[in-house]
Amino acid sequence: MKARSQLFACLVYLGVAAIVILGFGTSMFVLVGASKGLSQAAAREKTVLDARIEDAREIKRALAKSIEIPPLPPITARPLREKMTTIATQEPAKAPRAKLSHAALNAMAMQQQPEGRSTTPVFDRHTSNY
């Protein structure tokens, strides 16, 4: 009887341990699956950086395409510049100047300076504050 009770106790102990291990494994499987779902949901939300990267890629694709521009027709109008250069080359009319007498023309040339006074100040390096 004692042998049966020990065998029964061992089997119960192993059964409980197996149930605990299976429960732990199942809970880890559920947790990992849930965390993958959360990370995928977070990846689906667009951030400001993702929007700017997408805009930059769209601009890059648009700039990579070549644009076909038809050639311009030949110039048939006469340029306005020819008229402007002929007007600019003519000298403007000078206003008549009043005739000055010879004494008036030489009036400033003969100005006398008082003695002992020069037109430019002389600075002494040793006493100057500059």
d(CA 30, CA 25) in angstroms, rounded, equals 9
Q: What average pLDDT does the structure give for the chain?
A: 79
Calculate mean pLDDT across residues 92-119: 71
More confident residue, 58 or 6: 58
Q: Which two tokens stand for residue 35?
A: 């965390």
Confidence band, pLDDT 50/70/90 cuts, at residue 92: low
Q: Which two tokens stand for residue 128?
A: 């100057």
More confident residue, 69 or 125: 69
Calculate mean pLDDT across residues 45-52: 89
pTM for the model stands at: 0.29
Question: Under DSSP, is residue 116 helix (H, G, I), strand (E, B) or coil?
Answer: coil
d(CA 110, CA 108) in angstroms, rounded, equals 5
